Structure 1
Amino acid sequence: MNEDHWLRDTRISYDTVAISYADRMREALAGEPYLRAALAVFADLVHGAGGGPVADVGCGPGHVTAYLRELGVDAFGVDLSPTMIDVARRDHPRLRFEVGSMTDLDLPEASVAGLLAFWSLIHIPDEAVPTVFGHFHRALRPGGPLMLGFHVGDESRLKTRGYGGHPMNVHVHRRRPEQLAARLVDAGFTVEAHMLLDLDESVPGAVLFARRQS
């Protein structure tokens, strides 16, 4: 698949659903105690590493960015969709949000104390994952924590409709924790832990914690 093609489709799809998606996700964390606990662990890791700016890459409407700020983390958001960034700035006017792609992450080397990709890797095809992890490694400070959230599985599917019934054209990739862990090791990370979520659901989730090697 041509990279420009899938990136364009992802951007257009989330521009289309941005307002409906934000409405759906605004209170989503309130009903997810395990995800809130995972974010609290991530915040503790950031503080333990000395603190500093933290990038929420693929931030969408900014609800997780804002939650991290409530935990005392100096978080800012980056997203491919300009409309998502507009919504994030509208809903969280005191926070920093900018348009950008994790496939070409415009952050200086070793500039962030932590990095989060919260269910935003799910639209990245397998062949682009090493590039993305390379950018994550470059942007993180040595010893900085990384947290990934993703769908668990062995398949990809094309999503043609979502959030408010709007048309979409994105592939959703499900992956095993051990697969992403191996890719992280190849990219220069130490994988420290992972947790599985919603094991009785048709599509479970997972959270993986890693750290850039010093």
Structure 2
Amino acid sequence: MSERMRDTRWVTDTGPGHSQWYVNRFRQLAAEGADLAGEARLLDTLVPPASRILDAGCGTGRVGAELARHGHTVVGVDADPVLIDAARVDHPAPRWLVADLAELDLTAAGESEPFDAAVLAGNVMTFVAAGTEPRVLRRVAAHLHPDGVVAVGFGTDRGYQLTDFDADVVSAGLRLEHRFATWDLRPWRDDADFAVTILRRPT
């Protein structure tokens, strides 16, 4: 485990074996026929066909895999090698890479072409190392085409305040376009316990 990954809340806020538990949980949900594609459905409506999409904090790959099934080219990135190994086994079509979002530079991995969109699902922003949120958003934005879109979802009760997130969005050079209470676009309300925010990299 890298020094950087030890600092992430994915590690500090969970116990030993959490990564494998997470893998097993989503494999079980898939086997039971649970709907795990809601985030991908939303992102698919935001981009043209055959777009190039960055799944940032991809976990076990469920979102990126669904986007790939819709004909998009997907590169998934996560700091946890256990999750990336599971993604490679369960969903071999996209490309999955171990990388820290706060230091994200995909050129060295042969991915120099910019992306049309990025998605950060599964509470990614609340699991990165505390204090790195602005840098994570900047590094994701740096990999987008001008006018590229970013979809971010996380629980509002997980220690990362929306006011801080909105300030970090501005510092990353992104523009807030829409906010919803769920991935299926329920209207935003101030007491919602989850926020889905659509951002844009200005042209």
Task: Return closer, same or farther for 1:127/1:41 CA change in 2, 3 Å cut-off.
Answer: same
Contact 1:15 1:82 in 2 (8 A): no
* 1:93 partner SS: coil
Percent sequence identity over aligned pairs:
26
How far apart are 1:5 and its partner, in Å? 4.6
Asked if structure 1 preserves the Cα contact closer than 8 Å seen for 2:9 and 2:129, the reply is no
1:98-138 CA-to-partner distances (Å, cap 9, x unmatched) read 10010100224761111111121112345211111110121
143, 146, 153: which one pairs with 1:142?
Answer: 146
| Alignment coverage as a number of residue pairs | 188
| Aligned counterparts, 1:49-198, within 5 A | 51-108=50-107, 111-118=114-121, 119-153=123-157, 173-176=159-162, 178-197=163-182
Q: TM-score, normalised by structure 1?
A: 0.73
Q: What's the CA shift string for 1:23-71, capped at 9, x where partnerless?
A: 222437x6569x71x5323222221xx7532111111111111122233
Q: Structure 1 residues 123, 58: closer, same or farther in 2, change over 3 A? A: same
2:202 counterpart (206, 209, 213): 213
RMSD, aligned α-carbons: 3.3
Residue pair 2:9, 2:128 contacting (<8 A) in 1 also: no
Unmatched runs of 5 consecutive residues or more in structure 1: 157-172
Distance 1:209 1:179 in 2: 16
- Alignment check: 8 A CA contact 1:54 1:75 kept: yes
Instruction: Flag structure 2 segments of 5+ consecutive residues without an equivalent.
Output: none
After the TM superposition, which segments of 4 or more aligned residues of structure 1 sit over 4 Å from their partners? 2-5, 30-33
Return closer, same or farther for 1:209/1:15 CA change in 2, 3 Å cut-off. farther
Distance 2:113 2:173 in 1: 14
Distance 1:203 1:41, change over 3 A: closer
TM-score after normalising by structure 2:
0.77
1:193–1:31: structure 2 CA closer, same or farther, 3 Å change rule? farther
Per residue, is there more strand in 1 or in 2? Answer: 1
